[in-house]
Structure 1
């Protein structure tokens, strides 16, 4: 093997330049969330089975599935990478990626992010490191760090470089989560001008509109762009989830159910993000008194298969939500929920220093208990679990929009339990951010009139 340049000017240890070019294409496909990432990676390994950066990419891609089976495959691939590095000459950057991935495979997301961001000090054009750091800062609930990591790399880029639009879209999302809305929208719109299929940028702009309560504008933005997503993998379901949230805020319940059935819970749905999309949307609909029929059942069935996974607390909380939601009383899948809580507690004791353990202890366990209590008709218990952990919910990761389902749960439970002072304070806080949010205004009216259902559901029609 020899050194060859990749599309960003880095030295890459590889059999030939053609293999490096194929890896460049796979990384760009990852950034574009394209459905052909796997096929592209196969062609990379056909050209060079031992390229260190290809093994690094494969390790990361396997880890992103967030399942026990894929975690094991990621660890195996990382061992291959480590063996290749030990056996021959490699670059400092390649060795640094191997080190970062070692932390990732071991479940220490913070150390992995620190390592990727250290790579960016010397290699600010390392788009793969940028994306991996962003993904994991996102699931650490660290928006300011997510923004700063990309901002420190901007000086190395120009519009002529491959993936420049993906850089802008990533920065747009980081800016939005950190609360810099005008700048986020500007960068996101520029990324879409460069590439209308860039769904991460499209979703970043949608987040800006969501956080400011611009539901009509947000629905229209995504409705125009949805035709560009034919080549996008399951992440397009999440973009449609945002469309559904906008429709929900506009009171278009039939449209929300239609989006769920056609664009969110499709025949290929099933990964943790699909489950999270469906569970949080169905939960919100039922909060508004909408009959969702039998839509919980397939989401709960898949969640029941994943109760012993320990990749992301964010995912585990949504598995619990699906299990509690199906049946309507919190006990329809009591055995699976019991197994989920027991498995996480056991994992936390056995692996106390992993990111999952720290976050589960701080917020995850309380969220799951609150979800169960809420659906079982014990709203006071839900409040007692969730309110003390509220400041730590950020740590489960996900976006502000995704975590808001737990904020809504707290308010619904406070209303149902007759904790009027707390409910009014939570309503005041929500309306200060989004004065015209339809559901919150309905909660305010229900509180003023005393028309609150025992389960906390609030009519918003």
Structure 2
């Protein structure tokens, strides 16, 4: 019987289809271009290959193509029910829960599935990363939970380049950047055409203050990564973040123009939304120039792809857009919806969401004291937003700037010092950028 790269049986009689599926797995797990073609080739070679359909459904979901994702996962489920193994049926059922937006049920199913098939990497991937089931669970301890999950399954994977990419990043986000960086560097050495490892390594460098090394890594590596790669724009966004930490807003703006806007339609929508909105917000908040139509372009992009969401991470960026464009109706509607969801117990991230949304609105209106009043009681809950440390820092920067502009300089400096304790070389440059002197 054919097997995937992790030694798990595949219900296909076609060796060529199995090979195409293995290739697609590697490309998808590495966030490398070509996975769609590989999975579609597997389906063409064996139209009854359930897991190939499931993998294609997953990519539809990543790009927020909901109807194609639902149709394709249904096809996969029907095929697996007729001809698949118990592992394949469980794999597809778990992925279906993710596609249907049933995060808590999907997390329960993932853990149950991995207890029986720990090396089912496509399922192991679901709770991991900044946009995974754990990050978007609303849990305050999701960083530690990802680390613990990887620790638990490390023996099953050994020195697997994909697993080590995730394990290293999980360690970094859970407060162990030195250990995380070492594991991630090992992963990168095993497979350089691995955008996931480069991304994880950039997070480690961001946390330990190696901004020049991070910039050099991107410059030396990005030439091999096509702009259609899922993480191309986001990896460049990390360069922009490093530039802002050094007080170089001009370079950050250049990254926006050269790497983010041109790839808007190539990256997954959640990456595009968060990268563009957060970078524009940072530049605007720091009173740096942005392209004349930048906010309008980002607003138009978001309005076509994000209509409703209970994810705090999504709401944060949508409200940045609405606040920056002074769209009062959108601000009121989003805040009302989130307050209603909170009252109904349907907002996993909890009370931080309406506080954060009101704070962003106050900041855009120049109401510095109002912004700090909203954020002060929930600053300890930032992790519940989801995403990564680097992505959540935009809220910290907003808070710091509001403190500075309301005259609370000592408190603002304390917040910045606490955040940059691992990046002392960036502390003074960041302070100068935020204060303008």
TM-score, L = length of structure 2? 0.88
State the 1:323 CA deviation: 2.7
Deviations 1:186-214 (A, max 9, x none): 12222222222212111211111111222
* Structure 2 unmatched runs, 5+: none
User: Which residue matches 1:451?
Assistant: none
Q: Mean alpha-carbon deviation: is it higher for 188-197 or for 302-311?
A: 302-311
State the 1:321 CA deviation: 1.0
User: Which residue matches 2:398?
Assistant: 409
Task: Confirm or deny: 8 A CA contact 1:7 1:21 kept in the other structure.
Answer: no
User: Which residue matches 1:77?
Assistant: 72
1:193 to 178, 189, 194: 189
User: Which residue matches 1:358?
Assistant: 348
Q: 1:428 to 1:9 in 2, by over 3 A?
A: closer
1:264 to 215, 239, 260: 260
User: Which residue matches 1:376?
Assistant: 365
Task: Confirm or deny: 8 A CA contact 1:176 1:207 kept in the other structure.
Answer: yes
Task: Give me the whole-angstrom Cα distance separating, in 2, the residues matched to 1:285 and 1:353.
Answer: 35
Q: 1:342 to 1:37 in 2, by over 3 A?
A: farther
Q: 1:102 to 1:320 in 2, by over 3 A?
A: same
State the 1:240 CA deviation: 0.4
User: Which residue matches 1:9?
Assistant: 7
Matched, 1:441 2:431: yes
Matched, 1:208 2:207: no
Task: Give me the whole-angstrom Cα distance separating, in 2, the residues matched to 1:426 and 1:125.
Answer: 42
Task: Confirm or deny: 8 A CA contact 1:307 1:340 kept in the other structure.
Answer: no
User: Which residue matches 2:170?
Assistant: 174
User: Which residue matches 1:149?
Assistant: 149
User: Which residue matches 1:138?
Assistant: 135
Deviations 1:52-110 (A, max 9, x none): 32233233222223x4xx23333333333333344x24322122223322432343324
Q: 1:293 to 1:130 in 2, by over 3 A?
A: same
* Structure 1 unmatched runs, 5+: 444-456
Task: Give me the whole-angstrom Cα distance separating, in 1, the residues matched to 2:80 and 2:358.
Answer: 45
Task: Give me the whole-angstrom Cα distance separating, in 2, the residues matched to 1:363 and 1:324.
Answer: 17
Structure 1 counterpart SS, 2:11? strand
User: Which residue matches 1:446?
Assistant: none
Deviations 1:302-322 (A, max 9, x none): 223345232633122112212
Task: Confirm or deny: 8 A CA contact 2:278 2:394 kept in the other structure.
Answer: yes
Q: How many residues are aligned here? A: 427
Deviations 1:206-235 (A, max 9, x none): 111111222222212222222221275131
Q: 1:343 to 1:353 in 2, by over 3 A?
A: closer
Alignment of 1:31-430 (within 5 A): 31-65=29-63, 67=64, 70-86=65-81, 88-134=82-128, 135-140=132-137, 142-159=142-159, 164-230=160-226, 233-269=229-265, 271-294=269-292, 295-310=294-309, 312-326=311-325, 331=326, 333-344=327-338, 357-359=347-349, 361-419=350-408, 422-430=411-419
Structure 2 counterpart SS, 1:83? helix
Task: Give me the whole-angstrom Cα distance separating, in 2, the residues matched to 1:9 and 1:237.
Answer: 33
Calculate the aligned-residue CA RMSD, in Å: 2.6
Task: Give me the whole-angstrom Cα distance separating, in 1, the residues matched to 2:115 and 2:213.
Answer: 38
Q: 1:212 to 1:225 in 2, by over 3 A?
A: same
State the 1:247 CA deviation: 1.6
Q: 1:21 to 1:342 in 2, by over 3 A?
A: farther
Task: Give me the whole-angstrom Cα distance separating, in 2, the residues matched to 1:71 and 1:344.
Answer: 22
Deviations 1:150-190 (A, max 9, x none): 2222223355xxxx322221221111111221221112222
State the 1:118 CA deviation: 3.2
Task: Give me the whole-angstrom Cα distance separating, in 2, the residues matched to 1:433 and 1:383.
Answer: 25
Task: Confirm or deny: 8 A CA contact 1:307 1:316 kept in the other structure.
Answer: no
Q: Mean alpha-carbon deviation: is it higher for 37-46 or for 238-247?
A: 37-46
TM-score, L = length of structure 1? 0.84
Deviations 1:131-157 (A, max 9, x none): 222132233361122122222222233
